[in-house]
Amino acid sequence: MATLDDKLLGEKLHNYCSSSEGEDSDDDERSGDEEGETSYKSTEQANEPPPINNWNGSASNTGPKGVLEDWRRYKQLEAENRKEMEIERIALAKKLTLSAKTDREEQQAKEREEMEDELNELLDEEFLMKYHQQRMQELMSQLQKCPKFGQVKTLANKDEFLNAIDKEDAKVTVIVHIFNRKAKACTTMDGCLNVLAEDYPAIKFCRIEADVAGLSKHFRVDGVPALLVYKGGQIVGNFVQLATELGNDFYATDVQRFLIEYGLLPEN
């Protein structure tokens, strides 16, 4: 039968002697339970698998290998950060270079471009003027080097006729009038050539009688007046029976126009 002590202290084991004995047994039971729980927890922790790829920047191995791994990872992260910062720095520098111009700098750049354009135009004009002056000097020197004639030369024989053509400068145009003293058109041609010789001093005008040149009687009568034009020793124009073209009474302007039409005289 349960007593008041039993109700207050709880159910006792058989052969219960004293309260102190019960307390010792209770302490032993509690310590046993605690040791069981501790051993159970240690077993659970030992059986748990290690986490995979859960590295937080420090190696679980604190030995030399772990320290080396930490150092390698640190240097890798440092290099990656350095590259990213360098890329950002370059991009920022480019952006600032393109956009960091003040209004004053833009105005100065615009004025500088305008001045360069004006200078280029002036240089072009100066170059053209210098080239024009140089070209004019060259032409003038060429004209000065060219022989001056200014009158009609009479050729006395065949040799003079050949020398007047072959020994003349290749740039000089030689116009030879083959005439007959008895033909009226030949006299008119002589007067026209005297005028043209003064107007074109760089052109050599000559005259020779048809019989002196060894031409036939038929040519001396019907072929005159005739004009033979040479340049560089080569004949470039051959005009006979000009009386049928110009008539017996004509002027220097008519002969001039005739030769200009064939490109044998320059236009004044």
Domain extents for the chain?
63-144, 153-262
Predicted model pTM: 0.48
For residues 22 and 32, what is the distance between their CA atoms, to the nearest angstrom? 15
For residues 53 and 116, what is the distance between their CA atoms, to the nearest angstrom? 67
The confidence band for 21, taking pLDDT boundaries of 50, 70 and 90, is very low
Q: What is the pLDDT of residue 4?
A: 45
Query: Tokens 């058109």, residue?
Result: 185
Domain 153-262 part of CATH 3.40.50.720: no
Specify the 3-state DSSP secondary structure of 234.
strand
Structure confidence by residue, pLDDT tens digits, 114-126: 877 776 766 666 6
Residue predicted with more confidence, 95 or 113: 113
